[in-house]
Amino acid sequence: MASKEISQAVISRLPRYFRYLGELKDQGVERVSSQELSDIMKVTASQIRQDFNNFGGFGQQGYGYNVTYLYDEISKILGIDKQHSLVIIGTGHLGQALAGYTNFTKRGFVFKGAFDRNPALYGTKIGNVEVRPIDEMEEFVRENNIEIAVLTIPKDQAVPMAEKLVGCGIKAIWNFAHVDLDVPNNIQVENVHLSDSLMKLSYNISRYEN
């Protein structure tokens, strides 16, 4: 893979490429052209070729792309050719839904622990993990080499929790709390604001109605 900086716009399209290629692979499709991918994904063929050229290009002119090879290469680029260990902090409705979503495991994201402040939840299970007291989180993260923490807690708790997670050696935070986290540059943060997506939908509805 090229060592140059890749734009976030390109990176945001990689999971879509991976998903659609997986569907083609399951259908037994062996080759696909950039135009065929364009028709499926509603991204221009030129954009697809430019995106892939960021990583050295994967096709041959007049031949197209080998679906399985491209699927595997994008898997490596995304880092999902290996397993990642996660913990979830906050096991309310959203936390339970995320921890119980089996498709994450299929993609190599494995929940190893779940933590909450509510004693009534201690010992209950979400998927294959048992809910533990929040006080046990730091030791658990260190001892189990956890890479990713998922925050589904109120925003007033998220900032101090992020500080604790950084101190435990966490590598990344998937943040569902409605607050920006101030963490060192080597800690990767992906913020998910569900209401923002709804507001974008609302804007698009209004735009087309007008």
Q: Length of the chain, please?
A: 210
pLDDT tens-digit readout, 109-143: 999 999 999 999 999 999 889 999 999 999 999 99
Domains, the chain, ordered by start: 8-77 (1.10.10.10), 84-195 (3.40.50.720)
How do 148-151 and 172-175 pair as beta strands?
A: parallel
Mean of the per-residue pLDDT values for the chain? Answer: 91
What does the pLDDT read at residue 1? 42
Any residues with CB less than 8 A from the CB of 170 and at least 6 apart, and which?
A: 141, 146, 147, 148, 149, 187
Compute, in degrees rounded to 10, the torsion defined by CA atoms 101, 104, 110, 113: -30
Asked if residue 45 lies in contact with residue 38, where contact means CB atoms within 8 angstroms, the answer is yes
| DSSP per-residue letters across 48-65 | HHHHHHTTT---BTTTBE
Any residues with CB less than 8 A from the CB of 6 and at least 6 apart, and which?
A: 54, 55
Separation between Cα atoms, residue 64 and residue 32, nearest integer Å? 6
Asked if residue 56 lies in contact with residue 6, where contact means CB atoms within 8 angstroms, the answer is no
Tell me the backbone φ, ψ of residue 110, rounded to 5 degrees.
-110, 120
What does the pLDDT read at residue 158? 95
Asked if residue 11 lies in contact with residue 71, where contact means CB atoms within 8 angstroms, the answer is no
* H-type alpha helices, the chain: 8-26, 34-41, 45-53, 67-78, 93-99, 102-106, 137-143, 155-167, 194-209
Average pLDDT (190-199) is 89
Residues of the chain with pLDDT > 70, as a percent, come to 96
What does the pLDDT read at residue 2? 42
Q: Which of 163, 110, 107, 169 is CA-nearest to residue 140?
A: 169
Rounded to a whole number of angstroms, the distance between the first and last alpha carbons of the chain is 45
What does the pLDDT read at residue 208? 81
Average pLDDT (30-57) is 92
Compute, in degrees rounded to 10, the torsion defined by CA atoms 142, 144, 145, 149: -80
Asked if residue 112 lies in contact with residue 170, where contact means CB atoms within 8 angstroms, the answer is no
